[in-house]
Structure formats: structure tokens, C-alpha cells
Structure 1
Amino acid sequence: MALPWINIGIVLALGLVFIAAGWYFSRRVEDADEYIVGSGKLGVAFGMTSLLAFWITGNTMLAAPESAYNFGITGALGYALIGGSGVVLFGFLSKRIHQVIPHGKSVGDYYGTRYDGKNYFLFIALLIIYVLGLIVTQGIGGGVLLEQIFDIPYMVSVVLTFAVVITYSYFGGFRSVAGVAYFQVLLILVVAIVVPPLVYFKVGFTPVYQGMLETTPSSLNLTNQAALLFMFGGAFFGIGEVFMDNTFWQRAYAIRQEDVLKTFMMSGIGWALVPLAVASLAFVALAFGREPEQINQVAPLVAQVYGGQFAGWLFLVAVWSALASTTAASINALATLLMHDLLPRVKEDVSGDESLQYGKYLTVVVGVLGLLLSLPKILTMLQMLIFLGVINAAFIFPIVLGLWSEKTNPNGVFVAAIVAIAGGYAVYFTVGNLQGIIASGWLSFLITAGSTVVWPREFDWRKLQLAGRSASEGGD
């Protein structure tokens, strides 16, 4: 089959715009710290765009409609709750993070200082698995999207997406990612506002409602047990994703302390509106009996068939921008975590220039690994998120209790994480996937809180005050 070179050229043109912007912002990167968290002075506007561009992922644009297709109206509401609540709640954590660990640059600075070595390495190992899984969902989304709308073969689509993202992430790390995100989020929001109304103006609201009532009446049932389980079980893994993800910790450190709570709360509420908008496209597919070849493709299929070629292309721009922004942010978060947290543990006396160069090398390594793992379509995007949710849920309470209580026992936290993940996956494979996430969260809570009460361990908060400090900041 001949490759659609015109379509490939259009994608490359958009990618070159992102690369050029990334290079422009990279010119201000002078040291490793700026590669990790930028200047640390983001205000509300740039803080929100950075958060939205990362968190409006390919999952938001493709898996939110998937959840609406599977669970109806409650699925759409549930997906909005999954991500929005986590971001809002992390705002309160961010305020506390600034207070107790003012010089931190990664989640590893917190977790490795607050707890002990065994907890740190367990957490980092599982965090690497989670971030790679998130990167893979974006790679799958990019391949599916370009294949559906632009007829570009899946493998070529994945390679195109990662080539662009790796290149501009390499240049300037966090500065490039956050700078390009400003333009990407504008594209995403414009399309999220334009495409769903365009489709509904063409097909009509009443025909969609009548069609759903006749073909899938369960999709209109707000008390559907499976849908409610998805809503509340999903909230566990959504909150866990946010609390565990180094990308959010980077932004917590990068946003000014006086603006951090407001920025996260406004971002969480603003984010929730996007999946609600794009998930509504799945209702059109349900109403008119449209079954996509792959369930991930339901939103781009509806945009193209019922909105016309223009709407299909607009949706392509939005989703591909979302995929690129999230992939870039995740690659940067994992690469800089390895550079900042693990590199000093395996190589002593690393200079600032060497650390910066290692960060760039690791960006390429992480990006290429994500590309290779994305080539086989292992799971759908939503299935991958739910599978990883068992891990995410296990760390919600160790992170929260450790930030506020000086008596949280590191041994209890370690046991809680292992038992919660093991028990969660046992329930996941025997009872149900969402039940597994809920079980993981509750086991983690009971053991972490119980060990804090029964076997309290005093912690010196001054250790966190010093964590993450570089030599230039007066660190040892």
C-alpha cells in the first residue's frame, strides 16, 4: 500500500512547528535545574496551560469517549470526575509541598527523604512502570488517530509522533515542554469547543436522545451499577495517577507558591469540561448504531462521519496536540527523575553540565523505549489506565499521610504498598478490574493509617527542608 505522503507532510509540518517552538524556549536553559523544573516562577496563566496541556491527554480525547460508549452518560461524568478531582486535590498537596520541601524538584526528593531506601526504590520502580505505561497509551493513541483520520499506517504514525516529541523535549526539557504546551492547549481547547457543537448542529440533539433511548437505553440510566462502579473506582486511580506522577510534582515546584493552590483548582475544574465535551461524541455513535473497528476510534470516527472532513481534521489537530504534549511531559518527567534522583546514586561527583547532558540522553532513551513499547497494541487506552490504577491507588495514602503526619511508619508504608498492590491485582483478575483498584486503595489506607497509630515513628521535618537543594542553593 502506497503511503499517503500529503497527509504525512501535514503531520510533519505541525510537528516542525512544535520542534521550532521547543528549540526557541530551550535557549534559556542554562543548567540541569532549569531542565527539570524551569525557572520555578510560573504564574496562574502559564501554570494552567502547562497543567492542562499535560493532563488533557490522548486518553482524555479518546478514552473519555470510550468510557461514554461503554457506560453512557455516567461514563462521561465518571471520566470527568476521575481526572478533575485528582488535580483539584493535588492543589492542597502542592501548598503543603511548598511548605515542607521548598527546594524539591521531583517526587523522589520527597519520597526518598520522608521514607527509607526500600520504600524509595520500590516507589521509583513502580513509578517507572506507570510512566512508561502512560507514554504507551499516548503512542497507541497517536497511531490509532492518524490511522483512522489520515490513513497513515499505524507503525508509521507511532514513529512520527515520537520523533517529533523526542526532538523538542530533548532541546530544553521542562522549558521546551511547558513553552510548547501553551500553544498546544490553545489548539486543544478551540477544537473541544468547536467540534462537538458542529456535530450536534448537523445531527440534532433530539435524534441523538431518541436513538439512545431506542438502541441503548442503559446508556441513559444514571444509576447503572457498572457505570457507578467505574465512576467511583475510577476516582481512586485518577487521584492516584495525579499524586504519584512526577509531572505534577514538577509543576507544583515550578508554580509560584502564592499561586499554586488556585492554579491547580482552576485547572482541575477546567480540565473536567474537556472530557465531557468530547465524550458527548460517543452518544452520536450509540444513537445511530456506529461501531468503530477499535473502540478507541469512536470519537474521531464520529467527528469525521457526522461533522465532515473539516471537523475530522480539527479533531486530529486537537488530539495529536494532546498526545504530543502529554508524551513530551511524561518523557521529560521520567528522564529528569532518573537524572536527578538515580544518577547521583550510581555516579559520584557529576557536574552540572554533565547532569544536563545525561538528562538529554535519558530523554532520548525513554522516548525510544516508549516508541518500541507502543508498536504492539497490547491494550486499549482505557484498559491500560485501569490496569495501572492498582499501582496508583496503593500510593495515595502513603503520600498524603507522609506529608502531614510526622508519625507515619516507613515499615508500615512499605508493607501497605506491597500488600495493596498484590491484593489489588488478585481482586483485579478474579473479581473485576475496578474492584481491584478500590481494594488496593483501601488496603493501603488501612495498613498505612493503622501502622501510624499502632507503631508511630517520629520524623524530623528539617530533613525535607534540605531535600533537593543543590550546591548553588547552599546544599551539602
Structure 2
Amino acid sequence: MQIPWTNVIIILILGAIFIITSWFISRKVSSVDQYVSGRGKLGVAFGTTSLLAFWITGNTVMAGPEAAYNDGVLGAIGYAALGGIAVMAFAPLAKRIHEVLPNGRTVGDFFKHRFDHKNYYFFIAMSFIWVFGFLMTQGIGGGLLLEQIFEVPYELAVILTFAIVIVYASMGGFSSVTGLAFIQVMLILIVIVVVPPLVYFTTGVAPVYNGMKELDLGSLDLLAPAGLLFLFAAPVLGIGEVFMDNTFWQRAYAIRRDRVFSIFTLSGIGWCFVPLAVATLAFVALGTGQAPKEVNQVAPFIAQVYGGEFASWAFLIGVWAALASTIAALLNAIVSLVLNDVYLKMKPKATGKQQLAFAKIATITIGIVGLLVSLPKFTSMLQMLIFLGVMNAALIFPIVFGLFWKKLNINAAFYAAIFAIIGGYITYYTVGSLQGVVVSGWLSFLICWLGTLVAPSDFNWQKLIRVGLDEKESAK
């Protein structure tokens, strides 16, 4: 394939804007806390845009329409519920995090001091698997997007995306990620506000609806079993993702305590409209009989076919901004885990300057690893999320009970996660993928609850509060 150098240069220009902006932001980053967290400094505006910039991902605008293409109207609603309900459900957890672990850095801090060693190390291992898997879906999304619209070879597209993100994310870390969030959210809104209406001005709403009735009547069925299964399983999938994702814990720590509940709630509600808007592009594909080469590409494919060159450009800029923001946030989240839960265990007396240097090197290294694991092309980003969701769902109730229930038996929490993952994946491969997510979540709940009823503990919350305070004072 001949490389379209003009298109590559345009992406490089957009990337240069992010890099230059990040450079200005990074000049004020002088401490490791500024690089890996915000420590209660984000208000409503930056807190909301930071959450939206991260959570409006390549999956939102690529896998959301994929769900609608597969399951029709219920698929679109289900994907909106997947992320929106999950973020809103995290709001009371975020408030509780401020109460019991006000000076934490990562989700690892919670597992380290709330549970025992086996829970802590198991969670850290699962967390790394999840984040790298999610990072891979974003890299794949960037590659597919540039390949579909700009005809850039997939491998070159992945390299371009990661190279730009690695450069700007390594400069200022968390400060760069949140500082760029406002710009990126504005670019993302181009896709939501401009592209679907432009496509429907060309096709018409009535012809699309009539076409769906004629060509794929099942897509309009609100009682379709497959669609209902996705509608009810999707929130479990999303809650599992959000609750164990260090990126959300970082923002819980970074957002001001008096604003954290409202910001997560507002972000969850706002997020719902994004997949619903882009999912309507899948309805055009169903109603017109247009089939993309790969189901992942249905949204950019329809934008290109019916929206013309302007819609293609708008889709490219907005969605690539979403991918870049999410990859950057994930890199920063992984780095904070590695720094806090690996590096500081090996070098507990490392100075702030040494920690900051390590964090920057780790950002570059992990970014390169993320690039390499994203080079293989998968045809379904949604299926990858469901596969990881079995693991995510198993950790929902150890986290929830661990934050709110002092009687939680830590051994029950450990075995709940283990057996939920085993049972979930057995169901995944023998019954169905979504059923695997639901089974994993229910097993997690039942084992945690029953195990604690049999042998309740009596955890002292002051242990979490005191440890966080001691760590903050020792860092001064």
C-alpha cells in the first residue's frame, strides 16, 4: 500500500499541537505527585473534562456502533448504560475513597492496606492485565480509524498514534493529561454534534427507519433476547471496568472532596449521550444495507460514505483525540501503579526527584510495550472488552464491600475473585460471553457475602486513614 504522506503530515500537525501544549503545561510540573496525581486539586470543569476525555474512548465511538450494528436499538442503549451507569455508580465510591484513604495515590494503596498480601498481589496482577488489554483496544482503534478514513497502513497508524501520545504524556504526566482534556473533549464533540446530523441530512431519518424494518427488522425489536442480555450484562461489564481501573481512582483522589460525587454523576450522565449519538451511524448501515469490511469500522465507514469528506475529517480529528486522551490517561495510570506498587517497594527511600525521573522513563517504556501489543489487528474491540469484563466483574464486590463493610472477610474476598474468574470464563466458553460476565459478578457477590456471614472480620478504618497520612508526611 502506498503511504498517503499528506494525511500522515496532518496527523503529525494535530499531534504537534498536543505536544506543544503539553510542553507548556509540563514546565510547572516539579513534583512526583503532580506527575502521577492531582491530590484534590481538580474542580468541576477540569474534573468533568478529565473524566470525559478519558472515558470517551476509541471503544465508545468504534465499539458502541458495533454493539448497535449487532443488536440494534438495544445494543445502542446497552452500550450507553455500560459506561454511563458505571461512572455514576463510582460516585459514592469516590466520596468514600476521600473519607477512608484521603492521601492515596492508586487503587493499589487501597488493596495494600485494606486486605492482605495475597489479595494485594493478585489484584495488582489482574490490574496490569486489564490495563494493558484496554490499552491494546485503544491502539487497535487508532490503527483501524486511520486505515479506514485516511488509508494509512494499520501498523504505521498504530506507531504514529503511540509515538505522539508517548511524547506528550511523558512530559507532564497527570498534569499534561488533565490539561489537554478540555481541548480533546471539544474535538470529540465535533463527532457528536456534527457527523450524525450531517449523515442523516443525506440519508433521511424515515428512509433509514424503513430500511431497518425491511432489511433487519430484528434491530428494532426491544424484546430481542440477545439485545436484552446485552442491555442487562453491559452495566456489570462497565462497573467492573471502572471500579478496578486506576485511572478512575486517580481522579477520585485528584478531584476536590466537596465536588467528587457531583462530578462523577454529571460525567456519567453526559457520557451516555456520546455512544447513543455515534451508534445512530450503525442504524444507517443497517437501514441502507451498507456493510463495512470489519464490524469495528461501521461508524467511520458510514461517516465516509454518507457524510462526505468533511464528515470524514471531523470524525478522524474527534475520534483520534479521544483515542489519544485515553491512551495517555492509561499510560499515566499504569505508571502510577508501577511507581507506587513496584518501584517504591524496591526503593522505599527514593527521593521525589528520583521518583519523578523513574515515572518519565516508565511512561516511555510502557508506551512502547503498548505499541507492540497493539500491532496485531483484532476484528472486534467489543469482544475484547467482554473477555476482559469477566475478570473485571469478579473484583466488583471485593472493592465495594472493602470500602463500605468493615466486617468483610479478606479470605472470602480473595476466593470470591478467584472462583468468580474461573466460573466466569468456564461460562464464557461453554454458554456465552455475556453470560460469563454476569456469572462472574454474581459469584463474586455470593462468595464475599456468605463467607463474611460465616466468619466476619472487624476492620479498623483508621488504619487506612493513618497509613495515607503517614505516607504524605514522609514525602515532605
Shorter-chain TM-score category?
Answer: over 0.9
Aligned length: 476
Q: Which deviations, in whole Å up to 9, do the C-alpha atoms of 1:259-311 show, x marking residues without a partner? A: 00000000000000000000000000001111111111100010111011100
- Output the amino acid matched with 1:187: L
Match of 1:54 in 2: 54
Which stretch shows the higher mean deviation, 454-463 or 72-81? 454-463
The structural deviation recorded for 1:462 is 1.0
Distance 1:468 1:386 in 2: 34
Partner of 2:225: 225
Quick one: which amino acid aligns to residue 93 of structure 2? L
Any conservation in 2 of the 1:80–1:272 contact (CA below 8 Å)? yes
Q: How big is the shift at 1:38?
A: 2.6
* Residues 190 and 315 in structure 2, CA contact (< 8 A), matched pair in contact too: no
Distance 1:114 1:372, change over 3 A: same
Q: Offset of 1:97 from its aligned partner?
A: 0.7
Q: Which residue number corresponds to residue 20 of structure 1?
A: 20
Q: State the secondary structure of the residue aligned to 2:42.
A: coil
Q: Which residue of 2 aligns with 1:275?
A: 275
Q: Which amino acid aligns with 1:171?
A: M
Using a 3 Å threshold, how does the CA distance of structure 1 residues 224 and 190 change in structure 2: closer, same or farther?
same
Query: Which structure 2 residues correspond to residues 283-322 of structure 1 after superposition, within 5 A?
Result: 283-322=283-322
> What is the rounded CA distance, in whole Å, between the counterparts of 1:265 and 1:293 in structure 2?
37
How far apart are residue 469 of structure 1 and its match? 4.1
Q: CA deviation at 1:346?
A: 2.0
> 3-state SS of the aligned residue for 1:257?
coil
Counterpart of 1:124? 124
Aligned counterparts of 2:362 and 2:401: Cα–Cα separation in 1: 32
Which stretches in structure 2 are left out of the alignment for 5+ residues?
A: none
CA distances 1:191-245 after superposition (whole Å, capped 9, x unpaired): 2111101111111000000000000000000111101111111111100100010
d(CA) in 2 for partners of 1:55 and 1:344?
29
Aligned mates of 1:474, 1:24 — CA distance in 2: 30
Inter-partner Cα distance in structure 2 for 1:430 and 1:76: 26
Partner of 1:206: 206
Residue 2 of structure 2: aligned partner = 2
State the AA in 1 paired with 2:289.
G
1:466 is displaced (CA, Å) by: 2.5
Q: Tell me the residue number matched to 1:333.
A: 333
Three-state SS of the structure 2 residue aligned to 1:42 is: coil
1:342 match: 342
2:68 matched residue in structure 1: 68
In the other structure, the counterpart of 1:414 is 414
Match of 1:440 in 2: 440
- Alpha-carbon distance in 1 for matches of 2:159, 2:76: 31
Read off the aligned partner of 2:109 and give its amino acid letter: D
Q: 1:336 to 1:475 in 2, by over 3 A?
A: closer
Tell me, in whole angstroms, the C-alpha distance in 1 between the residues paired with 2:178 and 2:151: 30
Q: 2:454 maps to which residue?
A: 454
Partner residue, 2:85: 85
Structure 1 unmatched runs, 5+ = none
Tell me, in whole angstroms, the C-alpha distance in 2 between the residues paired with 1:456 and 1:28: 48
| Cα 1:62–1:136 shift into 2, 3 Å | same
Query: Are the aligned partners of 2:303 and 2:315 in contact in 1 as well (CA < 8 Å)?
Result: yes
Mapping for residues 243-262 of structure 1, pairs under 5 Å:
243-262=243-262
What do you get for the CA RMSD once the two structures are aligned? Answer: 1.2
Partner amino acid, structure 2, of 1:47: G
Query: What amino acid sits opposite 1:7 in the alignment?
Result: N
Distance in 1, matches of 2:473 and 2:180, equals 29
In 1, Cα distance between the equivalents of 2:389 and 2:2?
Answer: 40
Cα distance in 2 for partners of 1:194, 1:223 equals: 31
Name whichever of 384-393 and 449-458 sits farther off: 449-458
Contact 1:75 1:231 in 2 (8 A): yes
Distance verdict in 2 for CA 1:344–1:420, change over 3 Å: same
The letter for the 1-side match of 2:438 is I
| TM alignment of 1:133-282, pairs within 5 A | 133-282=133-282
CA contact (8 A) 2:23 2:171 kept: yes
Q: Conserved in 2, the CA contact under 8 Å of 1:469 and 1:475?
A: no
C-alpha distance in 2, partners of 1:330/1:464?
A: 26
Assess if the C-alpha contact under 8 Å between 2:31 and 2:353 holds in 1. yes
One-letter code aligned to 2:374 = S
**Contact map agreement 2:427 2:433 (CA 8 A) in 1:** yes
Q: Are the aligned partners of 1:54 and 1:325 in contact in 2 as well (CA < 8 Å)? A: yes
| CA–CA distance in structure 2, aligned partners of residues 472 and 402 of structure 1 | 22
Identity of matched residues, %:
57
**Equivalent residue number for residue 405 of structure 1:** 405
